[in-house]
Amino acid sequence: MGDFFMEQHKKYMLRCIQLASNGLGNTYPNPIVGSVIVNNNKIIGEGYHTKAGTNHAEINAINSVKDKSLLKESTLYVNLEPCSHFGKTPPCSVKIAELKIPKVVIGTIDTTEKVSGKGIKIMQNAGIEVISGVLNNECRKINKRFFTFHEKKRPYIILKWAQTSDGFIDILRNETTEQKPKWISGPTERTLVHKWRANEQAIMVGKNTVIFDNPELTTRNWYGKNPLRIIIDNNLQLVKNLNVFNTSAKTAVINSITHKQVSNTISLIKVSSKNSIYEQIFSFLYNSEIQSIIIEGGQKLLQSFIDNNLWDEARVFVGHNFFYQGIKAPELKKSNLTRKQKFCKSTLLFFENNSII
């Protein structure tokens, strides 16, 4: 393939990725997918997957083409291999074959058992020229939650915390200390965190964080669905008037005592101390089709995930203030700083660990 054609393919694949990102947080358990249809180097149709159970990106792109006769001489671009099985919607690969679209350019293969090359084969058997692997890494990265879930059988794990310039995550507190947290970051950062929560399916904190901060763990400052709240409370010591037990979102309490559905929004999930608590939590999340989780604290919980190398990325706000003493922030022993973002009261650092690429 000539350099000119590859550059053209990359240009349109970048548009697919851009479109796909519009669905982040709304398509679970499906991946995020964007598609464009090109005729004579001009985009004549485009679309993205908006929600599970609705049309996939390829169908939305096809439906947006005004002159359907052009489809037989056009190229369809999509960041993920078109599906090959019947779910809530018919298989896209079959529809593409029926419409006799002559060329399909794919960003990356769908490695799930239901697809994994089957969509490509359907289209090739119909005489369609299929090109795959265009911006493969970028296309896998945008669906890092989907690929991690299916390939590693666990959710994509995001660690998040704020620390002072001198490396403290909190002041020294006990149960008699005033519960309001001493903020390290500002209101802009807190709004961003709520946006992150809307993009992920679950959020986890430990018992002490609930006791000291009484967080709600919702997306109240941003539009979007509240994540499943997961609380580690081994001996079920938390009182039920805390914010994490309100009806704003569902809450699962990981404990060693009982397994019980307490109400429509509260469930108790029993784990055994004889086995790895992480494997048991991941098994629960995997069976619940939870593809992503944010670990928000406290320090011991965050550090335990780091020490067991069970994280994919970390987002750390480093405030401009100092505590001089208190609870030390978690330490990333293995990390790759990817970028920084500056705010008035802090600098946000992004780290990567277990790459799915």
According to the model, what pLDDT value does residue 288 have? 96
According to the model, what pLDDT value does residue 116 have? 87
According to the model, what pLDDT value does residue 178 have? 55
According to the model, what pLDDT value does residue 88 have? 73
Beta-sheet strand order (sheet of 346-352): 260-261, 266-270, 251-255, 228-232, 202-206, 292-297, 156-163, 313-319, 346-352, 336-342
d(CA 294, CA 176): 28
SS3 of 102-114: CEEEEEECCCCCC
Residue 58 among the catalytic residues: yes
According to the model, what pLDDT value does residue 276 have? 85
Catalytic residue of the set 58, 81, 189, 313: 58
d(CA 57, CA 33): 6
According to the model, what pLDDT value does residue 182 have? 77
d(CA 66, CA 1): 30
Structure tokens at 213: 């901060």
Instruction: Report which of 244, 182, 254 is spatially closest to residue 210, judged by C-alpha positions.
Output: 244
Contact at 8 Å (CB) between 108 and 81? Answer: yes
Residue pLDDT tens, the chain, 357 long: 557 678 899 999 999 999 999 999 999 999 999 999 999 999 999 999 999 999 999 999 999 999 999 999 999 999 999 988 777 778 899 999 999 999 999 999 999 988 888 999 999 999 999 999 999 999 999 999 999 999 999 999 999 999 999 999 998 877 665 546 678 999 999 999 999 999 999 999 999 999 999 999 999 999 999 999 999 999 999 999 999 999 999 999 999 999 999 999 999 999 998 778 999 999 999 999 999 999 998 999 999 999 999 999 999 999 999 999 999 999 997 778 999 999 999 999 999 997 666
Contact at 8 Å (CB) between 116 and 109? Answer: yes
